[in-house]
């Protein structure tokens, strides 16, 4: 698995038109907190179960990916869920998995807030919210 900072990941997605950009956060997180443009939401965990379903996640990616060597760029809140999701994809045979370090909201600061020190939004990258 390759690990890229948000700016690097955005550049990769812009350069590779066929990259599949996946938001692994819960649907409500992606919808209400915001998400990068062009991202598809495939949750690693989802309410109400809140436990990973690796087989279900991989099956959902299988339905969208054109090949096992397609670049898959994974983003979550802080860059942690994407590691587990990426490992599941690599175990399933995907060879070009990219984890977005710092995620969409970044690390917690000393006041336990996100988005003040790192992450996709902190870096000023494009995003949408609905």
Each residue of 6-50: pLDDT tens digit? 999 999 999 999 999 999 999 999 999 999 999 999 999 998 898
Beta-carbon count within 10 A of 73 CB? 26
Please give the Cα distance from 100 to 112 (Å, whole number). Answer: 21
- Hey, is 98 helix, strand or coil? strand
What percentage of residues in the chain have a pLDDT greater than 70?
100
pLDDT at site 116: 87
What are the structural domain ranges in the chain?
2-100
Return mean pLDDT, the chain: 95
Q: Domain spanning 2-100: which superfamily?
A: Rhodanese-like domain (3.40.250.10)
């Amino acid at each position: 698995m390759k690990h890229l900072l948000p700016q690097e990941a955005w550049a990769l997605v812009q350069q590779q038109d066929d990259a599949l950009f996946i938001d692994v956060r819960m649907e409500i997180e992606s919808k209400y907190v915001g998400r990068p443009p062009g991202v598809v939401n495939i949750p690693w965990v989802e309410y109400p179960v809140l436990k990973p379903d690796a087989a279900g996640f991989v099956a959902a990616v299988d339905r969208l990916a054109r090949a096992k060597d397609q670049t898959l760029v994974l983003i979550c809140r802080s860059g942690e869920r994407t590691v587990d999701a990426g490992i599941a994809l690599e175990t399933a045979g995907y060879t070009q998995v990219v984890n977005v370090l710092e995620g969409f909201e970044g690390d917690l600061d000393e006041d336990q807030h996100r988005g003040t020190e790192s992450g996709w939004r902190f870096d000023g990258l494009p995003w949408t919210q609905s």
